[in-house]
Structure 1
Amino acid sequence: MDKNIKVGMADYKVASGEEVLITLGLGSCVGVIIYDSSKKIAGMAHIMLPSSLEIKNNSNKMKFADTCIDLMMDELLKLKVSKTSLKAKIAGGAQMFSVSLNTESLNIGKRNVIAVKEKLKSLNIPIIAEDVLGNHGRTIKFDCNNQQLNIKSIGKGEHII
């Protein structure tokens, strides 16, 4: 059995025990991991956009911070995680392209990070560690067994949070 579970763009997956959640190519997108360390259960989401309320074509609820995190939480709660012991780690939210216009609305990475943080705060889930913003892409792997988030970036190397 493959212990690696890939999470695609605008998607989330839940895993446990010896399984490892992986998402590739986080640029302006944000990877959100919510986990219960005592039960070794975790969910990972690959968030593309901050809010489903800002987009007309919002049928894929897994694209957005405000809706994807809720969907993932529903699945985690069905697995009997302890809501009070949930923690989060986040990575991504880079500004991948130089923008000549001086406007924050074009910095999707920063807006994604803010939306994810606001959503987690509203759910009373503390962010234990983060590697966000900057101008470099990331690939992340979360080990459900030891709760380590491995972050690999081209030109920046690899580290664990």
Structure 2
Amino acid sequence: MGAAECYLGMGEFQFANRPLRLRTLLGSCVAIVLWHPERSMGGMCHYMLPSRQQAPGMPPDGRYGDEAMMLFDQAIARYRSQATDYRAQVFGGGNMFPRQQTEGSTLDIGRRNIDTARRLLAERGIPIVAEHLGGYGHRKLVFDVHSGKVWLLFQEENRPYPRRPQ
């Protein structure tokens, strides 16, 4: 019998210790994949923005990187494991609006999402073993929770032409 499948939309999170395939489609969003190699379990988040001002007492919202990581923290505790036992893979953070920004612009959500993922994983001591980040285009991602394998299809779009001097 094959693994069940689940599509993660923006802001969704899934964690399992059974055969399950997680799929998603990324632009400037980032997906963090965590996998525990000894226990064949793990999960994926798909977040849109690095963070927000969370109201006290509100549950974590997977649309934000820092809160998606809180969901991982909760799952890791629920399965009585340690964050450092997991391996991370990070995908996405594409530049979807290259003509609307300048170098270092705060509009580069993809870059900010990438930086957030790296920082959150480093804070928890979770090593990043693979990544495919940035660029100009979309990514289709499939994660097999039981085996830990990840399949990626990257559809690169044309890079923006340099602007001509006015």
**Short-chain TM bin:** 0.7 to 0.9
- Equivalent residue runs for 1:23-102 within 5 Å: 23-24=24-25, 26-53=26-53, 61-102=61-102
Q: Distance in 1 between matches of 2:83 and 2:59?
A: 28
Q: Distance in 2 between matches of 1:118 and 1:147?
A: 22
2:109 aligned with 1:111: no
Partner of 1:159: none
**Does the residue aligned with 1:75 lie in a helix, a strand or coil?**
helix
For residues 92-139 of structure 1, the C-alpha deviation after alignment (integer angstroms, 9 at most, x for no partner) is: 000012234314201000000001110111111111100000001111
Partner of 1:5: 6
Q: Distance in 1 between matches of 2:34 and 2:3?
A: 21
Scaled by the length of structure 1, the TM-score of the pair is 0.85
Contact persistence 1:11–1:46 (CA under 8 A): yes
Q: Cα offset for 1:85?
A: 1.1
Which of these two proteins has the greater Rg computed from alpha carbons?
2
Contact persistence 1:39–1:81 (CA under 8 A): no
Letter in 1 for 2:81: V
Q: Cα offset for 1:2?
A: 5.7
Q: Percent identity?
A: 27
CA gap of 1:74–1:60, structure 2 versus 1, over 3 A, is closer
CA gap of 1:99–1:31, structure 2 versus 1, over 3 A, is same
- How many residues are aligned here? 152
For residues 130-158 of structure 1, the C-alpha deviation after alignment (integer angstroms, 9 at most, x for no partner) is: 000000111111112221111112359xx
Letter in 2 for 1:98: P
Q: Distance in 2 between matches of 1:94 and 1:134?
A: 5
The farther-off stretch of 102-111 and 112-121 is: 102-111
Q: Distance in 1 between matches of 2:30 and 2:83?
A: 22
Letter in 2 for 1:86: Y
CA gap of 1:2–1:129, structure 2 versus 1, over 3 A, is closer
Partner of 2:140: 139
**Does the residue aligned with 1:122 lie in a helix, a strand or coil?**
helix
Q: Distance in 1 between matches of 2:155 and 2:83?
A: 35
CA gap of 1:9–1:101, structure 2 versus 1, over 3 A, is closer
Scaled by the length of structure 2, the TM-score of the pair is 0.82
Please list every run of 5 or more consecutive structure 1 residues that lacks an aligned counterpart in the other structure: 157-161
Q: Distance in 2 between matches of 1:68 and 1:6?
A: 16
Stretches of 4+ moved more than 4 A in 1? none
